[in-house]
A and B are shown apart, each in its own frame.
Chain A
Amino acid sequence: MEITTERKGEVLVALTEDRVDGSNAREFQEAVQAAIAGEDAPVVLDMERLVYISSAGLRVILMIARALQGESRNFAVCSLVGPVREVFEISGFDKIIQTHDTQEKAVAAVQG
C-alpha cells in the first residue's frame, strides 16, 4: 500500500488511494504511520483517490487520530468521495474526525 506525502506550508498531506479493508488495514496503518513519523507537523489525510474503506480501515484512522492527538498535532481528513463519504456519514466518523470538503480547507484548518 502506497502513501505519498507532500508539503503544504508546514502541513504534511498524506494521500491515500485504492481500498482499505480488513485484508490490508494493518499495512495501511504501518504505511501512514511511517509517512507521518519523526516530526511534529499537522497532518491532513487526503482521501480523494480512496474508493473504499471498511470499519477496519476506520479503526486505523481513529488510532492515527489518537496518536497525533497524543503528540498535540492537529489532524483532519479531506476530499471524501462516494462510498467513503457514505461510510463516514453512516458511522458518524464525520463527527469524530475533523472532515473537510477540500484539501485547501483542511490544510487551512489544521495550520497552527
Chain B
Amino acid sequence: MEQTYKILVVDDEPDLEPLILQRMRRDIRARRYEFVFAHNGVEALERLNEDEDIDMVLSDINMPQMDGLTLLSQIPDVNPNIRSVIISAYGDMKNIRTAMNRGAFDFVTKPLDFSDLRVTIERTLQHLMEWREALSSRDQLVALQNELDVASKMQQSILPTEFPSGAAYQSFGHMVPARNVGGDFFDILPLDRGRIGLAIADVSDKGVPAALFMMSSRTLLKGAAIGTESPAEALREVNSLLFDDNEASMFVTVLYAVYDPATGEFTYSSGGHDAPLIVHADGSSTLLPLTGGVVLGIVPDFPFEQHTVTVAPGDTVILYTDGVTEAMNSNRDEFGIERLQQVFASSPPGDSRDANRTVFDAVASFAGDTPQSDDVTCVTLQRREPAS
C-alpha cells in the first residue's frame, strides 16, 4: 500500500481549509494526502510538536501572531526533516527570497492553481523521500555507490516535469544522469509579463553533499529568477547567497537566461558555464559569446554581466552542459560543440523537443559503447514561425 503523507497547511484565511479539502478530495479519499490545518505560526509549531507524522508544511507568509517566515526559521528546531512550501503573493519577491534563504523547498503563488500545487506537493514529497533515504544511508554507513544512487534520485526530484510554451515559443529540457559523477540540473519557469526564465547548471562534486548544494542552488536561483529584472542581477544574488555558506569550496556553473516571447529578446548571463548555441531554421548555427562570468559560490560580489540577442522566428536556442561537449568516444576524442553544429547543419531542428532529442542522439551515437562519464543535460527554446 502506498504511504499517506501528512501535510500541515498554515493560513489565517478561513476559506483555504474547505477549498483544499474540496479540490484535493480525490487524493484524500485515496489516502495519498492527509491535511491538517493551523491558522498562524504559533499554532503550526504546536501542531508540529504534537504530531511527529507531519511530512510537509504549506504555509502562507502574512499571518497574525507568528508569520510564515518566522515559522520557517523555527521548523528545523522541531523537526529538521520536514520540507516547507511557501504560499506568497505573486511578485512578492522580497518575501519569497527570504523564504528560500530560510530553507523553504519551493513556493506557490496566489491565487492558488491547484494542479500546480499538486505538482509542487508531489515534487516536494518525492524530494523528502530521497532525503530520508540519504539520511538512513548515512546512518548505516552503506557503500558509496548507494549514497550516489540516493544523490542521483534527489537530483531527479528537483527537475521540472512541465515545460512552458505559448503561441510564439516552446521549450523543452532533459537530463540523462551519469552513473557515478554528476551534478547537472535545469529549470524552465514562467516569469511576469509573459517572459520565461531558463537555467542550466552543473555542480562541481558528487554525492549527497553536492546534491544538497545543488538543491540550494536551484532553490535560490528560482527565487532570484522571479525577483530580479535581469539574468546578471539574478546570478549576482545567487552567487552571494551561495558564497555566504560554502565551507566546502563547492561551486556551480550556471547559464541563466530570460526570454521575452513578445520581442524575441533573449538575455543571458553565464556563471562559468558554456555559451548558448542558436540554431537557425536552415540548420546553420551561431555560438553566442560568453559574458565574462565565473562559477558561482566562490568569489564574493562578482559583477556578473549579460548579453542580449534577438531570436529570429524559427531559431532554436540550445543550452547544454559539458556532458554534451565533453562526451568521449573510444578514441578519447571529445564530442565538442563543432560536431553538434555539424549535426544540426545536416538535420535542422523540428520543434524544441525534436532539437533536444537530436542533441542526445548525436552524443549517444558519437560515444558508442564508451560509458557516459558525466551528466548530459540540454534545454531547448524555439521561437515559432508565425502561422501563415
Using a CB–CB distance below 8 Å, which chain A residues touch chain B? 21-23, 52, 54-56, 58-59, 62-63, 66, 83, 87, 89-93, 95-96
**Stretch of B216-224, B288-296, B338-346 on the interface side:** B288-296
Contact B202–A55 (Cβ < 8 Å): yes
Q: In the complex, how many angstroms separate the beta carbon of B144 from the nearest chain A beta carbon? A: 11
Q: In the complex, how many angstroms separate the beta carbon of B286 from the nearest chain A beta carbon? A: 17
Alpha-carbon gap, A54 to B321, bound state (A): 12
Contact B249–A54 (Cβ < 8 Å): no
Contact A23–B273 (Cβ < 8 Å): no
Contact A54–B295 (Cβ < 8 Å): no
Instruction: Collect the chain B residues with CB atoms within 8 Å of residue A58's CB.
Output: 204, 251, 295
Indicate the size class of the contact surface on chain B: 20 to 34
Q: Which residue of A lies closest to B274 (CB)?
A: A90
Q: Answer yes or no: B250 CB below 8 A from chain A CBs.
A: yes
Using a CB–CB distance below 8 Å, which chain B residues touch chain A? 180-181, 183, 202-206, 249-251, 253, 270-275, 290, 292-295, 298-299, 322, 326, 334, 373-374
Contact B249–A56 (Cβ < 8 Å): no
Alpha-carbon gap, A63 to B249, bound state (A): 7
Other than A54-B322, A62-B251, give 7 A-B pairs with Cβ distance below 8 A. Answer: A55-B183, A55-B203, A56-B205, A87-B322, A93-B272, A93-B295, A96-B298
Residues of A contacting B: mostly: helix
Residues of B contacting A: mostly: loop
Other-chain residue from A54, A55, A83, A93 in contact with B294 (beta carbon distance below 8 A): A93
List 22 A-B pairs, Cβ < 8 Å: A21-B181, A21-B373, A22-B180, A22-B206, A22-B374, A54-B181, A56-B205, A59-B249, A59-B251, A62-B251, A62-B298, A66-B249, A90-B270, A90-B272, A90-B273, A91-B253, A91-B272, A92-B294, A93-B272, A96-B294, A96-B295, A96-B299
Q: In the complex, how many angstroms separate the beta carbon of B133 from the nearest chain A beta carbon? A: 22
Q: Which residue of A lies closest to B270 (CB)?
A: A90
Alpha-carbon gap, A66 to B246, bound state (A): 13
Instruction: Collect the chain A residues with CB atoms within 8 Å of residue B202's CB.
Output: 55
Alpha-carbon gap, A55 to B274, bound state (A): 12
Instruction: Collect the chain B residues with CB atoms within 8 Å of residue A93's CB.
Output: 272, 294-295
Contact B206–A56 (Cβ < 8 Å): yes
Alpha-carbon gap, A59 to B297, bound state (A): 11
Instruction: Give the 7 A-B residue pairs with the shortest CB-CB distance, closest first.
Output: A92-B294, A22-B181, A91-B272, A55-B204, A59-B204, A92-B272, A63-B249
Instruction: Collect the chain B residues with CB atoms within 8 Å of residue A56's CB.
Output: 181, 204-206
Alpha-carbon gap, A102 to B180, bound state (A): 35
Contacts known (A59-B204, A92-B293); A54 close to B374, Cβ less than 8 A? yes
Alpha-carbon gap, A22 to B373, bound state (A): 8
Other-chain residue from A21, A87, A90 in contact with B290 (beta carbon distance below 8 A): A90
